[in-house]
Amino acid sequence: MSVLLDDLGEPVPLAGTPARVVSLVPSLTDAVQTTAPGLLVGATDYCTHPPDLVVARVGGSKYPTVAAVLDLRPDLVIANSEENRPEDVERLRADGVPVWVTAAPASVPAGLASTRRLLVQGLGLSEPDWLLAAEDAWHRVDPLRATAIVPVWRKPWVVVGRDTFAGDLLRRLGVANAYADHAERYPRPSLAELTAARADLVVLPDEPYRFTAIDGPEAFPGKRFVLVNGRYLTWYGPSLVAARTELDAAITAAL
């Protein structure tokens, strides 16, 4: 039996190369299925990519049905320190299931490095071409051209703050985060504070809250806005290969 350490330094005792994997993290579901089709036997209801993924569903990321995960007899469960509850991870481990917990990445390079470790060390896979292409696409940091507010929820309003993957990704596109220096990673400012913030742009993703042309922009009168694919903004998987071109085009058109 080999014992590896996950991103949090916790042991992951594997009896061999995993052959039955359950993912509780949508972006990592996409990464694993794209790299090794057939390895996944279960995923959450929010694991929407790849679109042709056909596996057992085990509930939501925050509240998976642990019994359903155990019924699948996985060799390994993939979780994330921000997306999944510690008590669910501990219950799985208590039932003898190895769990690899990834850290919430503070940057694009950190997200890709974490994914590489999971795929290569944890799952024993070869480094995929898409990961190399994503690293090549995102190593550049463009000159600053705008400052943005990036809401991810409303009622209450929640925005991207310090040390986040989305904030670093936007900065690489030349867009600074108006809340990058906030004490919290996901601040909850009042709408009055948001509308008064010095920002050229409001970036509105379609997940986790589904902002639309009629649900979100009206809260920021006089500010330019751009609706973006939330997967391109927050997922650190194969979608990053296309994300730079798509997001850059959308932001350029908005400015």
- Out of 95, 127, 159, a domain closes at 127
For residues 205-234, give the mean pLDDT.
Answer: 95
Q: Is residue 17 part of a domain?
A: yes
- Out of 72, 98, 127, a domain closes at 127
pLDDT value at residue 182: 95
pLDDT in tens, 155-177: 999 999 999 999 999 999 999 99
Q: Is residue 134 part of a domain?
A: no
pLDDT value at residue 1: 63
Tell me the average pLDDT of the chain. Answer: 95
Same domain, yes or no, for 86 and 198?
no
pLDDT in tens, 32-89: 999 999 999 999 999 999 999 999 999 987 889 999 999 999 999 999 999 999 999 9
- Out of 127, 154, 184, a domain closes at 127
For residues 114-120, give the mean pLDDT.
Answer: 97
Q: Is residue 120 part of a domain?
A: yes
Same domain, yes or no, for 103 and 149?
no
Same domain, yes or no, for 82 and 49?
yes
pLDDT value at residue 248: 97
For residues 121-138, give the mean pLDDT.
Answer: 96
Q: Is residue 234 part of a domain?
A: yes
Total domains present in the chain: 2
Q: Is residue 97 part of a domain?
A: yes
Q: Is residue 104 part of a domain?
A: yes
Same domain, yes or no, for 47 and 145?
no
Same domain, yes or no, for 82 and 27?
yes
Same domain, yes or no, for 73 and 8?
yes
pLDDT value at residue 187: 96
Same domain, yes or no, for 243 and 157?
yes
Same domain, yes or no, for 91 and 114?
yes
Q: Is residue 105 part of a domain?
A: yes
Same domain, yes or no, for 167 and 202?
yes
Taking 70 as the threshold, does the pLDDT of residue 222 lie above it? yes
Domain range for residue 22? 2-127
DSSP secondary structure of the chain: -EEEE-TTS-EEEESSS-SSEEE--HHHHHHHHHHSTT-EEEE-TT---STT---EE-B-SSSB-HHHHHHT--SEEEEETTTS-HHHHHHHHHTT--EEEEP--SSHHHHHHHHHHIIIIIS-PPPPHHHHHHHHHHS--PPP-EEEE-EEETTTTEE--SS-HHHHHHHHTTEEETTTTSSSSS----HHHHHHS--SEEEEESSSS--BTTBSGGGSTT-EEEEE-HHHHH--STTHHHHHHHHHHHHHHH-
Same domain, yes or no, for 123 and 175?
no
Same domain, yes or no, for 111 and 154?
no
For residues 229-238, give the mean pLDDT.
Answer: 95
For residues 93-119, give the mean pLDDT.
Answer: 96
For residues 119-145, give the mean pLDDT.
Answer: 96
Q: Is residue 115 part of a domain?
A: yes
For residues 131-140, give the mean pLDDT.
Answer: 96
Same domain, yes or no, for 151 and 97?
no
- CATH no. for residue 9? 3.40.50.1980
pLDDT value at residue 63: 87
